[in-house]
Amino acid sequence: MPLIETNDVDQVATIEIFRDLAAEADQFEQYSNPHAPRVAAIAEEIGKSFSLGTRDRFSLRVAALAHDLGEAAMARDYIQRQGPLSDDERIDLARHPVLGEREAAEAGADRGAQLLVRWHHEWWNGSGYPDGLRFEQIPLGARILRVADAYAALTDDRPFRPALSEKQAREHLLEWIGLEFDPGVVKALLSLEPFDELRSYYKEDAPPDLPGIADDLMERIDHLGT
């Protein structure tokens, strides 16, 4: 899938800057495979299904590449550690979307992309952070980014758990539909035709411990690598 469909020299240069920053963030978070470009590709396809305009899709792609910059800037050891976070660590890590907004601004992201980074951990039911937005208060791009990020993180190996299969990741999205995720965005992702970035890194010879993952997701999915 092409990185970006544009002939705008400035947009291409911006994407290249954020590709490099995303690679550094992915390395810090110990993703086994490039995460942010995968989120960007998935978000792009979902955005197309909502007929987002070219400019909005560009902002969404930049935000997808930038969404973990706050965690990389914080550089906390617990981000890479196995096991649940303490209460203090969860409170501390909840600052990362705001820090990511700042990092994205300093790197040259447009204001739309900055706000998508700030709000990519907002939940459909209002239980997210940093601003507790709910329903359509959350911009569509941020709702798309929440779903794309969660799916990509679930289907990749992490230091604290192995990758889920595509089926398991889709079931997780459905389980949290109307709570964490916008139902319409989940439906859009599930309706996409297969492409490379939707494929899971799940290994058949090393099946995940599903009960353990279910418990761990409650502690980690909205805090580490999503």
| pLDDT for 84 | 85
Q: The whole model's pTM is what?
A: 0.88
Per residue in 124-155, pLDDT (tens digit) is 999 999 999 999 999 999 999 999 999 999 99
- What does the alpha-carbon distance between residue 222 and residue 180 come to, in Å, rounded to a whole number? 9
Residue 36 clears pLDDT 70, i.e. is over it: yes
Residue-wise burial string across 176-190, b where 16 or more C-beta atoms lie within 10 A, e elsewhere: bbeebbbebbbebbe
DSSP 160: T
Domains plus CATH for the chain?
Answer: 9-220 (1.10.3210.10)
